[in-house]
Amino acid sequence: MHTDQVLNQLKKHGQLLDAEIASATGITLAQVRKSLNELSSRGEISQCSVTRFNGNKRIDGFQCRISGYVPPAAPGRKAASGNKGPANTAD
């Protein structure tokens, strides 16, 4: 089985589609999906089904990442402020 290669690819690159894993590792898509199902049943990864459209072509796949992994915040986000109400300066 190719579970180790698939898991290493996810650890190295974070969240990936099954097709991206297949092309990067040279493993067939069917074997990648079998490995992903095994890793998911063991609780090592999280996966969800996705549908994307490339023009009129429908592409179904699985998006996966290591379980418990939270991607870093996107650049440019504003920090949460402690005081969200309007400032009352009238005394």
- pLDDT tens sequence for the chain (91 residues): 688 999 999 989 888 999 999 999 999 999 999 999 999 999 999 999 999 898 999 989 999 999 886 667 778 867 666 665 565 666 5
- pLDDT for res 91: 54
CATH number of residue 53's parent domain? 1.10.10.10
Residue 35 within a domain: yes
Burial state string for 27-38 with b = 16 or more CB within 10 A and e = fewer than 16: beeebbbbbbee
Domain of residue 50, residue span? 3-66
Domain count for the chain:
1
Tell me whether residue 41 is in a domain: yes
**Do 36 and 15 meet the contact criterion of CB atoms below 8 Å apart?**
no
Rounded Cα–Cα distance for residues 16 and 37 (Å): 15
